[in-house]
Amino acid sequence: MTGKHIPQRTCIGCREVQGKRQLVRVVRQADGHARIDLTGKQPGRGAYVHVKPACWQAALAGGRLAHALKMSNLSDDDRAELQAYAAALPIEDETET
Ligand SMILES: [Zn+2]
């Protein structure tokens, strides 16, 4: 791996395209659970969300995350886990570009 090419991913919360570093991956694991994949390397279908509470709220609220992961629904446990993660994120203001 050369590291020269920066993969671009779309945040499913706000639909902006960004380099992977600003995004956190959620993976649908083989057991059917949606979990945060901090390594970005877990096998399974992945979706990306900004490291911002607002993007997580948008991703979780409209069922977008489940849709992106090709799941009919997130389980209550998975949703609670993801919401807890989102709630712990620092709130950034939007002044930086
Ligand atoms: Zn976003």
CATH number of 8-87: 3.30.1230.10
Distance 50 CA to ligand 1 centre (A): 4
Predicted TM-score (pTM) of the model is 0.84
Domain boundaries, the chain: 8-87
For residue range 7-25, list pLDDT tens digits in order.
789 999 999 998 877 899 9
How remote is the CA of residue 79 from the centroid of ligand 1, in Å? 18
Reported residue count of the chain is 97
Question: Burial letters for 67-93: b for 16+ Cβ neighbours within 10 Å, e otherwise?
Answer: ebbebeebeeebeebbeebbeeeeeee
Mean pLDDT of the chain: 89
Give the burial string for 2-27 (b: 16+ CB within 10 Å, else e): eeeeeeebebbbeeeebeeeebbbbb
Gap from CA of 2 to ligand 1 centroid (Å): 27
